[in-house]
Amino acid sequence: MKTLLKILNAFFVVLGVIFFILMIAAVIFIITDPYNLKPLLKQVDIPSGIKSTLNDSTPVDEHPMLTSDQEKTLQTFGIDPASLPTTITPEMESCAIEKLGQTRVNEIKAGAEPSFTDYLKANSCLN
C-alpha cells in the first residue's frame, strides 16, 4: 500500500511539474509571439466612417460641423457621422438644450466630445 502511495505521489508530482513547465512555455510563447499570430487573433475592424483610397490613407471628413475627435467618438459608438444632419435648426438646438442643458450644449458647440449618454439623451432631437 505504501508503494502504491509513493507511485501515485510521484506520478502527480511529475504531472504538476509538466503542467508548470507548459504554463511557463505558454506565457513565453504568448509574449515573444515567434510565429506572428497576434495579428490573426486581433481582427482589425475599420470603422465605417474612415475611408481610404489607394494613394491617400488619411481619413475623410464625414461631417463638416464635427471635429475629427468628435467623429471618432461617434464612430466608437457605432454612429456614422455622415448620417447626422449638417445643419442644426433652432428647434433641434432648443430640444438639445432641454435634454442636455445649456452648459453642455455650449461645451459641445465649442468642440467637446459628446459622451454616449449625451447621444442617448439628445438622439430624439436629431430627427
The parts of the chain modelled with pLDDT lower than 70 are: 40-62, 127
The pLDDT value given to residue 48: 53
The pLDDT value given to residue 87: 80
Are 81 and 75 spatial neighbours (Cβ–Cβ below 8 Å)? yes
The pLDDT value given to residue 78: 77
CA dist., res. 85 & res. 15, Å (int) = 64
C-alpha cell at 70: 468628435
Nearest to 100 by CA among 76, 124, 70, 77: 124
Q: Report if pTM > 0.75.
A: no
The owner of cell 504531472 is: 15
CB-CB neighbours of 122 under 10 Å:
20
Measured at the alpha carbon of residue 20, what is the angle toward residues 18 and 24, in degrees to the nearest 5? 115
